[in-house]
Amino acid sequence: ALDLIYDKRREGFDPLSAFVALFPDDDSETGEAKKTLADLPIEERLQRHIIDGEKRDLQKSLDEAMTQYKPLEIVNDHLLAGMKVVGELFGAGEMQLPFVLQSAEVMKSAVAYLEPHMPKVEGKRKGRMVLATVKGDVHDIGKNLVDIILSNNGYEVVNIGIKQPLQAILEAWKKHDADAIGLSGLLVKSVGVMKENLEEMKQLGLEVPVILGGAALTRHYAEHDLRNVYGRTYFGRDAFEGLRFMDHLAGETMATLDAEIVERLEKRSDAEKVIAKSRSERGQERPSGGGAATATRTRSDVARDVERPTPPFWGDRVIESVDLDAIYPFVNKVALFRGQWQFKRGKKSDAEFERQIRDEVEPIFERLKEHCQDDAVLRPQVVYGWYPVLSDGDDLIVFDPEDHEKEIERFTFPRQDGKRHLCISDFFMSVDESRASGGRRDALGTHCVTMGREVSRQAKALFEANDYTEYLYLHGMGVECAEALAELWHKRMRAELGIGNEDSPVIRELFTQKYRGSRYSFGYPACPDMSDQEKLFRLLKPGRIGCELTDNWQIDPEQSTSAIIVHHPEAKYFNV
């Protein structure tokens, strides 16, 4: 356990694997002790090295295998067979992502050891993909996972990185004579960039197949809407769906994938017809024209007679350092362990999964906490501020902190189509209310927080060194610590405003808004317009803590986040 906590890895010894071995999965045993690797036939032994993520005695096994098989046969017939099993186990929910990455690390080590013994063969290849995160997007974890899985299943990947314009993507495609292009992007704006790229590719007369992936992208949009734009588009839900795409491309069986897409679209069309018929029979046709839009201009029923607290200062402040020990308690472990690191229960019982979290995952978290603090991997900084504001319909007017009559910025928020007709501006004192109260102003909080660039630099180094599992862990740690800092600073801002007494004393309940008010980030349902980041950046000037906006209004470095802070007691998350 101490080897795991203090990361005492060395050649041939992985403390995580050693620790996991102390807790065998009883359900997978049949009463007989498992054979040791050395007892297995060499063909099965090679596969077990991959499936189990076992590096011990790997070179010895490869040397023995080369007495019977050519190096290329070892890779294609035995090692890749192991990776195929890994993919099947992952797809069935029987293997978690960190262990998939351990298998990929073993595969990479095995191929590297065999390469000097393999003659260089020009010409025939399995398949090659150019992979990129689209212009303006700084997120690379999904793209890099695709790179890991494809490259360790025999495919060549030309990974050209983040924030890539179409010109650079097409230049790489031509230069490397690639068989396919993979486009990745996290937020809604990136989906728009993908569409623009495909429109231009269509105009250029290109027909190269394109696989698309990202959190904001849906299968139907990729396979229906974007197919209508370009033609040969496919959806990659995860890295293994990207592998399946390349397998069909290499096997010249893309017609199978196309037929599956047609079948899905036909089923959806049939379902939509049934729903439309049912609505029509019940007299629930959707309104047409501008009537609905006009109705939603009505202000919501949000209470107006609420306390309007005054902040301790107007303007902004820079916090150049925050103690990590103050941030760590605010890390959402569910988001980190299950979301970022993808330790999912799968077919485990609740008790088995809880034991794994306690005995395997928590020690990883503790080790990373110490590493990030001792080696200054995470360098938290904050810029935040309070601004006098008033609402005017859907608009929120921001005034100069030193001259409360001078407008310096204006946000226009969307209004909810149904339900309460909510709009963020409704949570603030209106212009009319201000006049009636003698010119008072309400208060808008804002903040931008970051973990700095060092964590991204170190994560990139781990990826390039083929240390895939640790790359996943460190990347996720940086992302969730940025979210934790945002949660911590929001709590401190509530305290400054004098409403912190309404906070839940249980930190994990803060993750579900058990406090007064709300924190809204641009790009999310209540305020989806990412371009409003420009206005926030003009107010706060986050460049002072090393943050800048990309072409798509995302914050660079990636482990950063920004928000507006609303104090109204009815302010909670909602969709428009």
* Structural tokens at position 238: 């995860």
pLDDT at residue 120, as a whole number: 66
Say yes or no to pLDDT of 25 above 70: no
* Structural tokens at position 544: 């002072």
* Structural tokens at position 244: 């399946």
Torsion-angle region of residue 441: left (phi > 0), alpha (psi -120 to 50) or beta?
beta
Task: State the burial class of residue 89 (Cβ atoms within 10 Å of its Cβ: 0-12, 13-18, 19+).
Answer: middle
* pLDDT tens-digit map of 475-495: 999 999 999 999 999 999 999
Query: pLDDT confidence of 257, banded at 50, 70, 90?
Result: very high
Say yes or no to pLDDT of 294 above 90: no
Residue 75, H or E segment: none
Say yes or no to pLDDT of 3 above 80: no
* Structural tokens at position 75: 């890779």
Query: pLDDT confidence of 51, banded at 50, 70, 90?
Result: very high
Calculate mean pLDDT across residues 196-205: 97
Least Cα distance to 563 among 362, 345, 383 occurs for: 383
pLDDT at residue 572, as a whole number: 96
Q: Where is pLDDT greater, at 335 or 276? A: 335
Query: pLDDT confidence of 242, banded at 50, 70, 90?
Result: very high
The one-letter amino acid code at 192 reads G
Q: Where is pLDDT greater, at 293 or 297? A: 297
* pLDDT tens-digit map of 73-109: 999 899 999 999 998 998 888 899 899 999 999 999 9
Residue 192, H or E segment: helix 188-203
The one-letter amino acid code at 85 reads V
Calculate mean pLDDT across residues 121-134: 82
* Structural tokens at position 70: 């050519």
Cβ contact 330:395 at 8 Å: no
Cβ-count burial 310-319 (b if 16+ within 10 Å, e if not): ebeebebeeb
Say yes or no to pLDDT of 12 above 80: no
Calculate mean pLDDT across residues 360-383: 97
| Topology alike, domains 2-24+33-117 and 315-322+379-452+479-566 | no
* Structural tokens at position 116: 């000097």
Q: How many helices (H) and strands (E) does the chain have?
A: 24, 14
pLDDT at residue 296, as a whole number: 44
Question: How big is the chain by its Cα radius of gyration, in Å?
Answer: 27
Query: pLDDT confidence of 31, banded at 50, 70, 90?
Result: very low
pLDDT at residue 256, as a whole number: 93
Q: How far is 54 from 40, CA to CA, in rounded Å?
A: 14
* Structural tokens at position 439: 């010119």
Calculate mean pLDDT across residues 253-266: 92
Query: pLDDT confidence of 297, banded at 50, 70, 90?
Result: low
Calculate mean pLDDT across residues 570-574: 95
Q: Which residue has the tokens 């925050």?
A: 322
pLDDT at residue 371, as a whole number: 97
pLDDT cut 90: percent of the chain above it? 76
Say yes or no to pLDDT of 19 above 70: no
* pLDDT tens-digit map of 105-118: 999 999 999 988 88
The CA-based dihedral angle spanning residues 15, 16, 21, 25, taken in that order and rounded to the nearest 10 degrees: 170
Say yes or no to pLDDT of 168 above 50: yes
As assigned by CATH, the class of the 2-24+33-117 domain is: mainly alpha
Return all residues near 222 (Cβ < 8 A) that are at least 6 apart: 212, 233, 234, 235
pLDDT at residue 24, as a whole number: 45
Domain ranges in the chain are 2-24+33-117, 128-267, 315-322+379-452+479-566
pLDDT at residue 16, as a whole number: 56
Q: How far is 463 from 144, CA to CA, in rounded Å?
A: 8
pLDDT at residue 290, as a whole number: 36
* Structural tokens at position 379: 């360098």
The one-letter amino acid code at 383 reads V
For residue 529, the SS3 value is coil
Residues forming a β-bridge with 563:
447
Torsion-angle region of residue 513: left (phi > 0), alpha (psi -120 to 50) or beta?
left
Say yes or no to pLDDT of 318 above 70: yes
pLDDT at residue 124, as a whole number: 60
pLDDT at residue 20, as a whole number: 53
* Structural tokens at position 410: 């204006």
Positive or negative, the CA dihedral 396, 397, 398, 404 is negative
pLDDT at residue 395, as a whole number: 96
Cβ contact 230:202 at 8 Å: yes
Mean pLDDT of the chain: 89
Least confident of 11-20, 108-117, 434-443, 500-509: 11-20
Q: How far is 329 from 310, CA to CA, in rounded Å?
A: 29
Q: How far is 517 from 234, CA to CA, in rounded Å?
A: 41
Positive or negative, the CA dihedral 510, 501, 311, 422 is positive
What is the phi/psi pair of residue 87, to 5°?
-60, -40
Say yes or no to pLDDT of 391 above 60: yes
Q: How far is 303 from 299, CA to CA, in rounded Å?
A: 11
pLDDT at residue 279, as a whole number: 64
Q: Where is pLDDT greater, at 8 or 87? A: 87
Judge: domain 315-322+379-452+479-566, CATH 3.10.196.10. Answer: yes
CATH domain 128-267 topology: Rossmann fold (3.40.50)
pLDDT at residue 283, as a whole number: 60
Say yes or no to pLDDT of 187 above 90: no
- Length of the chain in terms of residues written: 576
Q: Where is pLDDT greater, at 325 or 295? A: 325
* Structural tokens at position 370: 């110490």
Say yes or no to pLDDT of 32 above 60: no
How far is residue 142 CA from its own chain's centroid?
7
CA angle 142, 526, 433 (to 5 degrees): 155
